[in-house]
Amino acid sequence: MTQLSAVPTREPATPGSTREHLSSPVTSAVLTIQSRMLAATRSFLSQHGFTEVLLPILGPVTDPGARGAKQVDIDYYGHRYKLMTSAILYKQASLTMFDKIYCIAPNVRLEPLDTTVTSRHLAEFHQIDVEMAGASRDQVMRLVEDLVGYVTTKVLADVAEEFERLGRDIQTLAQLSAGPFGRRTHTDAVATLRELGHPQNPDGEIDWAGEAMLSRLESRPFFVTDYPKGSRGFYDRENPQRPGFLRNFDLIAAEGYGELCSGSEREHDYAAIIARMRETGENPAKYAWYLEMVREGIPASAGFGIGVERLTRYIAGLDAVWQACAYPKIPGVVAP
Ligand code: AMP
Ligand code: MG
């Protein structure tokens, strides 16, 4: 990881007091970079015909596919509502309004306590959440490549002095816009991990340690595609040519920083969604508003979510993801 050597004091391993964190030169450099990243993201997506839609943070249901994290319930006028773990259901629904949408959306996930050692989990974070009607997986993977390349090039040009202050090696970052990222299947990634002696479950998500190992092997971000069905939520579309595997992908950063983005083609057919809900242990009755929309017809689509703090951490070369946040919520840690 990059040493924060160009700044007077090295950021501590935990945020310390709120005042200390907010007034640290590291925080100001990082959040300057993040602010330019968000401006570049909006400019790129707007140039590509995407409309920014502000999506709900509260709803009767939320994304159930959040890797062991607990959802947060709130009392909404006597009804049990959830804070959004992701905006996926609203993204699909919003395509009945515009063909290309995005949102910079806050998410709340009470991550399990074993994530405190990953350096890449927060209990509250944001996603650059994009969805495109009629798109294929390949189309949105190219969009991810172009977006990440554009944003990186733009911030390197706009605020070079902040990278210098952080001591971030910008040589590797400058290569991010130099052509497509590598692609490998989940099956292939599992085989690599097993050859390295890591006991990766072939039917599940790549575990935290496996993800970090794969990420450390590379000098550029790369895609992992075709995750097995049991590893993801009901909305990632199953491959009709390869039942049991999904038309989805993750983008994994290089240098050990791990997952940056997950995306997929989506299920949009009513019967397929009901079947997938049942297979994943979800009760369709809970999803009444969504299923009513699906029954009336939502477009086929593909989309993705890029973690804002994760992308900031990678671009700024930070030790931990909480450094990419003004008011970090580290899982299990009481914080403002
Ligand atoms: P997911 O739907 O779990 O794939 O989340 C989408 C993206 O959000 C991931 O690829 C990460 O970049 C980011 N993300 C997910 N969970 C967290 C977390 N607990 N803390 C920070 N970023 C996260
Ligand atoms: Mg993911």
Confidence band (pLDDT; 50, 70, 90) for 295?
very high
User: Is the residue at 152 inside a domain?
Assistant: yes
Q: Which of 128, 259, 304, 306 has most ligand 1 atoms within 8 Å of its beta carbon, as the pocket-test mutant? A: 259
What CATH number corresponds to the domain at position 37?
3.30.930.10
Residue 137 or 280, more confident: 137
User: Is the residue at 221 inside a domain?
Assistant: yes
The protein residue whose alpha carbon is closest to atom 8 in ligand 1 is 307
Q: Which residues surround ligand 2, an ion (CB under 5 A)?
A: 262
User: Is the residue at 200 inside a domain?
Assistant: yes
The protein residue whose alpha carbon is closest to atom 13 in ligand 1 is 307
Look at residue 85 and tell me whether its pLDDT is greater than 50: yes
Find the 261 Cα to ligand 2 centroid distance in Å: 6
Average pLDDT over residues 22-39: 98
Look at residue 332 and tell me whether its pLDDT is greater than 70: yes
Ligand 1 site: residues with CB under 6 angstroms? Answer: 66-67, 86, 109, 111, 121-122, 125, 127, 259-262, 305-307, 309-310, 321
Angle at 115 between CA 111 and CA 120, to 5 degrees: 100
Q: Is the dihedral of CA 228, 279, 247, 60 positive or negative?
A: negative
The chain-wide mean pLDDT, for the chain, equals 94
User: Which atom of ligand 1 is nearest to 260's Cα?
Assistant: 12
Q: Which residue has the tokens 């995005």?
A: 102
Confidence band (pLDDT; 50, 70, 90) for 256?
very high
Q: How many domains does the chain have?
A: 1
Find the 305 Cα to ligand 2 centroid distance in Å: 8
The protein residue whose alpha carbon is closest to atom 22 in ligand 1 is 307
Task: For 56, list phi and psi in degrees, rounded to 5.
Answer: -65, 155
Find the 71 Cα to ligand 1 centroid distance in Å: 14
Average pLDDT over residues 186-205: 96
User: Is the residue at 330 inside a domain?
Assistant: no
Q: What pLDDT does 117 receive?
A: 85
Confidence band (pLDDT; 50, 70, 90) for 12?
low
Confidence band (pLDDT; 50, 70, 90) for 116?
confident
Domain span at 130: 18-324
User: Is the residue at 225 inside a domain?
Assistant: yes
Report residue 250 as tokens: 């993750």
Average pLDDT over residues 145-152: 97
Look at residue 47 and tell me whether its pLDDT is greater than 60: yes
Q: Are 261 and 58 in contact (CB under 8 A)?
A: no
User: Is the residue at 186 inside a domain?
Assistant: yes
User: Is the residue at 3 inside a domain?
Assistant: no
| Among the bound ligands, the one closest to the CA of 307 | 1
User: Is the residue at 49 inside a domain?
Assistant: yes
Chain mean position to CA 185: 19
Average pLDDT over residues 15-24: 93
Beta strands in 12-163 (DSSP E): 51-52, 58-59, 73-76, 79-83, 100-108, 124-133
User: Which atom of ligand 1 is nearest to 88's Cα?
Assistant: 2
Beta-ladder partners of 128: 104, 306
